[in-house]
Amino acid sequence: MDIKAIVLAAGKGTRMKSETPKVLHEIYGKTLLGYVLDSVNGITNENFVIVGHHAQEVEKFVEKNYANTRSVLQSPQLGTGHAVSMAAPMLENYEGLVLVLCGDTPLITAETLQKFIDFHKSSNSDLTLMSTIFDDPTNYGRIIRNPDNSVKCIVEEKDATDEQKSIKEVNAGIYCLDWKKVKNAFSQLTSNNAQGEYYLTDIIEWGKKNSLSVNAFILEDNEEIYGINSRLNLAQAFKYMTKRVLTKLMLNGVTITDPESTWISPDTEIGQDTVIFPSTYIEGRNKIGRNCKIGPCAHLRGDVEIADNVKIGNFVEVKKAKIDSNTNVGHLSYIGDSELGAHVNIGAGTITANYDPLSKTKSKTWLKNHVKVGSNSVLVAPVTVEEGANLGAGTIVTKNIPAWSLALTRSPLKIFSDWVKAKLS
């Protein structure tokens, strides 16, 4: 069955105290909205992002990164139900399923969304909402079920009785809709409430009145629907995501010597028997092979591919680089916009100077197999060091180096005998 998604991303995010739209704040160099869209992309064939505040910035992000996603403007913002209705004209003749979710929930996974859809189908639902269990459900809408376990309604805390407040099953804010049967709800919602808004939760009552099958899927891990409304929430989501990533890596055979001081993005793949030492920070999308040693205090900034048996030393920064097998990058080095071959040795303090501040362009460095680079060397890109060449310590490379040659830019050493004694006398 065809599946599309509507992602709500029009909110102002007042509590973020930021000029950046809330959904464009980042965790590990990836936006909150990006996490949500990546989770639905393996399931859906088309997505709609509802934009409002800072609409142009969000639209630009969507257009640049997601070819199968369109932005839809909600102006003015009249509630979540109104937001979904903005996409209705583009779904006029659509007869598949529609996922509705929020753009500020970066922890939701594709696996959970697939289970949610499978539940919807197996339950023969017309409308399925996602719920979860909280020991302390304060401030969440409570799920009220019928004797047959179908959903009767959602009661917001301010309207709940004491008995209803004791219910721990709450609305997670994600919906799966049989669009053909549910679409009319969005033209019939009312705004008879204190805020004068059209609430998405009202489609539950609408569905029951129209004899639709309404069910709830219970999410086991309630962290997945953790929403971001403040910088405090952003920091907490970062912790949740880090714990999830490190746990998965360790269960798959990666050694994390100190999980409390290690940060690795969920878009990083790491092979078995690789060791990640403390205070290492890895963001963005990366692939690290087997039997590698990374850190301590290493920083991988994204778009890094590292083959097997590679060592990235203390205080090394790597960005947009490919490093082949059995290569060592010594401490205090920077490798950016580069390709390193196999059996390469990079001495401590080596820099690939990839950025021209005048033209504001970045160029590439190529080091072929078996190249040896002495400590404190600088390779000024674009430059190629051919196979087997050696660079002496302190060398500044500004042109290509032939294979199996030695390159030096070193002034002759001068020794002044008894100079110190003369100064002290």
User: At the fourth CATH level, which superfamily is domain 3-225?
Assistant: Spore Coat Polysaccharide Biosynthesis Protein SpsA; Chain A (3.90.550.10)
> Residue 133 is which amino acid?
I
Q: What is the pLDDT of residue 278?
A: 98
Question: Where residue 62 falls among pLDDT bands split at 50, 70, 90?
Answer: very high
Average predicted confidence (pLDDT) for the chain: 95
Per-residue pLDDT at 193 exceeds 90: no
Q: How high is the pLDDT of residue 306? A: 98
pLDDT higher than 80, residue 195: no
Looking at residue 395, its amino acid is: T
| Structure-token match 């003015």, residue found | 76
| Residues above pLDDT 90, as percent of the chain | 90
Give the span between the Cα atoms of 380 and 334, in whole angstroms. 12
pLDDT tens-digit profile of 212-231? Answer: 999 999 999 999 999 999 99
DSSP-assigned letters across all residues of 101-128: EETT-TT--HHHHHHHHHHHHHTT-SEE
Q: What is the pLDDT of residue 417?
A: 95
Per domain, the residue ranges of the chain are: 3-225, 252-407
- pLDDT > 80? residue 1: no
% of residues, the chain, pLDDT over 70 = 100
Which pLDDT value is given to residue 385?
98
Kindly state the average pLDDT of the residues 94-104. 97
pTM of the model: 0.93
| Mean pLDDT computed over 259-279 | 98
Give me the pLDDT at residue 368, please: 98
The CA angle 62-67-70, to the nearest 5 degrees, is 55
Segment 256-282 shows an average pLDDT of 98
Q: Comparing 102-111, 135-144, 387-396, which segment has the lowest mean pLDDT?
A: 135-144
**Could you tell me if 300 and 283 are in contact, meaning their C-beta atoms sit under 8 angstroms apart?**
yes
pLDDT tier for residue 378 given thresholds of 50, 70 and 90: very high
Q: State the Cα–Cα distance between residues 412 and 250, nearest whole angstrom.
A: 51
Q: Does the structure show a pLDDT above 80 at 286?
A: yes
Average pLDDT for 186-197:
84
- Using the structure block, give the residue that is written with the tokens 């078995």: 272
25 has catalytic annotation: no
Task: Tell me the mean pLDDT in the region 101-110.
Answer: 97
**Each residue of 304-340: b (16+ CB within 10 Å) or e?**
bbbbbbbbbbbbbbbbbbbbbbbbbbbbbbbbbbbbb
Q: Which residue has the tokens 């004209």?
A: 89
The CATH fold assigned to 252-407 is UDP N-Acetylglucosamine Acyltransferase; domain 1 (2.160.10)
Could you report the per-residue pLDDT of 399-425, keeping only the tens digit for each? 999 999 999 998 888 999 999 999 998
Q: Which of 82, 299, 331, 370 is catalytic?
A: 331
Q: Determine the pLDDT at residue 42.
A: 86
Model confidence pLDDT, tens digit, residues 293-328:
999 999 999 999 999 999 999 999 999 999 999 999
- pLDDT, position 365: 98
- Which of the pair, 106 or 161, is modelled with greater confidence? 106
